[in-house]
């Protein structure tokens, strides 16, 4: 009976974590470039139950009763890197990556492209959120203050917002400044580590490949546009309701076990 406690409790924990993940997806449904997470739920190994009996002669007899599931757990949240819809903002500091042909490896149908940005410590990060701005020093940054980098991983400094971005990533400033926006490519985006706020980092020290020189990669940059989140809100809300109902079902099973144990201890124990 105690095994039933563990099975029901593991189901509740898995559904709780899935609900938290889905809630985060819905909360970021309007965040530019946000990639929705999908839950990967796995089962614990099953146990094979065997009944062991001894005869009066001392012989042992084993009879297989069947398998017993030991519950489930949410192994990980896997980001979905499918491109979101393009939204026209009209702002010159907004830039969107448009995937045309982004090949993946043998395990992934598609790779992914990212803007190169740098935090205050000089560490490289990657993002699909092209909601940029010019800070007080004239550097192109993300909304969180990360420096947007050029192809040579240098910060981009511009005199004002009157700059243009071509389809091939060239930035031309109002005083003739010229930069090529840094864009990286990976054939396996699942290897990236999600940090929050639309940022990713590479697990290894080496950075991602240059998207402009990667074989078979074709893309464009669109100024005045933002990539919308790829969260399907209606689907996420439906999955949240399903997860909540599964949580409640496991909760009722747990309560039933608890009542049975209470009777066993307080009533049967008196006999």
Q: How confident is the model at residue 205 (pLDDT cuts 50, 70, 90)?
A: low
**pTM to 2 decimal places:** 0.80
Do the beta carbons of residue 18 and residue 247 sit within 8 Å? no
Identify whether residues 18 and 147 lie together within a single domain: no
pLDDT digits (tens, 9 = 90+) for 130-168: 999 999 999 999 999 999 999 999 999 999 999 999 999
The bridge status of strand 133-134 relative to strand 124-127 is unpaired
pLDDT digits (tens, 9 = 90+) for 36-77: 999 888 777 666 667 778 776 777 777 777 666 667 878 888
Q: CB-based contacts of 106: which residues, under 8 Å, 6+ apart? A: none
Q: How many domains does the chain have?
A: 2
Identify whether residues 23 and 86 lie together within a single domain: no
Identify whether residues 218 and 162 lie together within a single domain: yes
pLDDT score recorded for residue 7: 80
Tell me how far apart the alpha carbons of residues 119 and 121 are, in angstroms, rounded to a whole number: 5
Q: CB-based contacts of 269: which residues, under 8 Å, 6+ apart? A: none
Q: Name the more confident of 242 and 206.
A: 242
What SS3 class is residue 37? Answer: strand
Identify whether residues 74 and 92 lie together within a single domain: no
Identify whether residues 142 and 102 lie together within a single domain: yes
What is the residue range of 8's domain?
2-78+231-270
What average pLDDT does the structure give for the chain?
88
pLDDT digits (tens, 9 = 90+) for 164-195: 999 999 999 989 999 999 999 999 998 899 88
Identify whether residues 169 and 129 lie together within a single domain: yes
Token pair in block for residue 264: 């066993």
Tell me how far apart the alpha carbons of residues 26 and 205 are, in angstroms, rounded to a whole number: 32
Identify whether residues 53 and 109 lie together within a single domain: no
Burial call 76-104: b when 16+ CB within 10 Å, e when fewer? ebebebebbeeeebeebbbbbbebeebeb
């Amino acid at each position: 009976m105690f095994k039933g406690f563990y099975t029901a409790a593991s189901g509740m924990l898995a559904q709780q974590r899935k609900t938290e993940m889905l809630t985060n997806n819905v909360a970021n449904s309007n965040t530019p470039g946000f990639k929705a997470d999908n839950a990967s739920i796995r089962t614990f190994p099953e146990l094979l139950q065997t009944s062991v009996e001894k005869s009066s002669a001392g012989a042992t007899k084993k009879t297989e009763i069947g398998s017993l599931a030991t519950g489930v757990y949410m192994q990980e949240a896997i980001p979905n890197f499918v491109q979101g819809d393009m939204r026209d903002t009209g702002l010159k500091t907004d830039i969107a990556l448009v995937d045309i042909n982004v090949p993946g490896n043998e395990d992934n149908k598609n790779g992914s492209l990212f803007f190169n940005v740098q935090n205050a410590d000089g560490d490289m990060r990657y993002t699909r959120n092209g909601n940029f701005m010019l800070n007080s020093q004239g550097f192109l940054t993300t909304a969180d203050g990360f420096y947007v980098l050029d192809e040579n991983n240098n910060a981009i400094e511009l005199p004002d917002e009157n700059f243009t971005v071509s389809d091939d990533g060239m930035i031309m400033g109002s005083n003739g400044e010229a930069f090529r926006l840094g864009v990286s490519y990976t054939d396996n985006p699942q290897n990236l580590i999600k940090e929050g706020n639309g940022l990713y980092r590479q697990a290894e020290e080496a950075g991602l490949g240059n998207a402009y020189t990667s074989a078979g990669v074709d893309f464009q940059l669109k100024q005045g546009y933002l990539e919308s989140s790829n969260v399907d809100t209606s689907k996420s809300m439906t999955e949240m309701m399903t997860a909540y109902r599964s949580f409640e079902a496991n909760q009722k099973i747990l309560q039933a076990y608890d009542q049975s144990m209470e009777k066993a201890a307080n009533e049967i124990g008196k006999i």
